[in-house]
């Protein structure tokens, strides 16, 4: 699986051209991409990255990828990010690492969005994994009840025996909805709940998917 992630990640580097502003996603697959990008920068590639999490920011700085921010650029040329699940319509379920809000801000604002995954992430329908939903700390209990009324079995995310807190200072609720047959519709209903910051459903965003399969990659568009 790790080799497949690395293959997909490294294949995505070919789409990054000199002068581009690059959205850097989050997660172990993206980490492979950021490390490779660091090597390319050392060889002379001139790009600037916008990280979608503090973890990615730290890694990018460590491997020498120059960074910028939304105050300094008008657009992102390309964003490259991982996913926890992808269905046949290229809808994504994301947020396993808890970075879904910043990831969505980066990915949705890129001219081109490429997803890099190993083959275990391909599913018929989203929802085999719980859907991560970022919510305000204030009132999270009532927000969880409202999500339950929409059919979600909700658990607050715990890490190192404490409630997980996102880079934005919020909680993550992991919500089992069973098979998500209408991802866009579910996302829209959830977004209407006051206190929901963002959901891990990403629809109508993906331009290209690079899937690591054993020792080769498959590209879907």
Q: Could you list the residues that contact ligand 5RP (CB under 6 A)?
A: 25-29, 81-84, 94-100, 103
212: phi > 0 → left, psi -120 to 50 → alpha, else beta; which? beta
Q: Any known ligand binding at 38?
A: no
Q: Name residue, tokens 């460590």.
A: 62
Identity of the residue, 17 or 54, whose beta carbon is nearer to ligand 5RP in the bound complex: 54
134 noted as active-site residue: no
Q: Which residue's C-beta sits nearest to ligand 5RP?
A: 27
Identity of the residue, 44 or 128, whose beta carbon is nearer to ligand 5RP in the bound complex: 128
Q: Any known ligand binding at 49?
A: no
Please tell me the distance from the alpha carbon of residue 14 to that of residue 20, in angstroms, as a whole number.
Answer: 12
Q: Any alpha helices (H) in 93-132, and if so which ranges?
A: 100-108
Identity of the residue, 83 or 211, whose beta carbon is nearer to ligand 5RP in the bound complex: 83
Cα angle vertex 9, ends 88, 81, to 5°? 60
Q: Any known ligand binding at 81?
A: yes
CA 186 to chain centre: 18
Q: Please state the closest distance from residue 187 (CB atom) to ligand 5RP, in A.
A: 15
CA 30 to chain centre: 9
Please tell me the distance from the alpha carbon of residue 40 to that of residue 177, in angstroms, as a whole number.
Answer: 42
- The single residue of 103, 125, 141, 153 carrying the catalytic annotation is 103
Q: Please state the closest distance from residue 116 (CB atom) to ligand 5RP, in A.
A: 8
Kindly state the tokens that stand for 88.
């046949």
Q: Please state the closest distance from residue 100 (CB atom) to ligand 5RP, in A.
A: 5
Q: Give the annotated binding-site residues for substrate.
A: 26-29, 81-84, 94-97, 121
- Which residues are catalytic, by number? 103
């Amino acid at each position: 699986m790790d080799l497949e992630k690395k293959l997909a990640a490294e294949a995505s580097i070919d789409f990054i051209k000199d002068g581009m502003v690059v959205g850097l996603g989050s997660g172990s697959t993206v980490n492979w991409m950021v490390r490779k990008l660091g090597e390319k920068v050392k060889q002379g590639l001139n790009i600037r990255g916008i990280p979608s999490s503090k973890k990615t920011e730290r890694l990018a700085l460590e491997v020498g990828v120059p960074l910028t921010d939304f105050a300094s650029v008008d657009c992102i040329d390309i964003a490259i990010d991982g996913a926890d699940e992808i269905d046949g319509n290229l809808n994504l379920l994301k947020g396993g690492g808890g970075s879904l809000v910043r990831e969505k801000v980066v990915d949705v604002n890129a001219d081109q969005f490429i997803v890099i995954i190993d083959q275990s992430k391909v599913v018929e329908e989203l929802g085999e994994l719980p859907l991560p939903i970022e919510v305000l700390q204030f009132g999270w209990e009532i927000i969880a009840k409202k999500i339950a009324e929409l059919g979600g079995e909700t658990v607050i995310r715990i890490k190192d025996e404490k409630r997980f807190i996102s880079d934005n200072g919020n909680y993550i609720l992991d919500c089992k909805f069973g098979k998500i047959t209408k991802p866009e519709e579910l996302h829209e209903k959830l977004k209407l709940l006051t206190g929901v910051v963002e959901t891990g459903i990403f629809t109508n965003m993906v331009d290209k998917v690079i899937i690591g399969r054993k020792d080769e990659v498959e590209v879907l568009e």
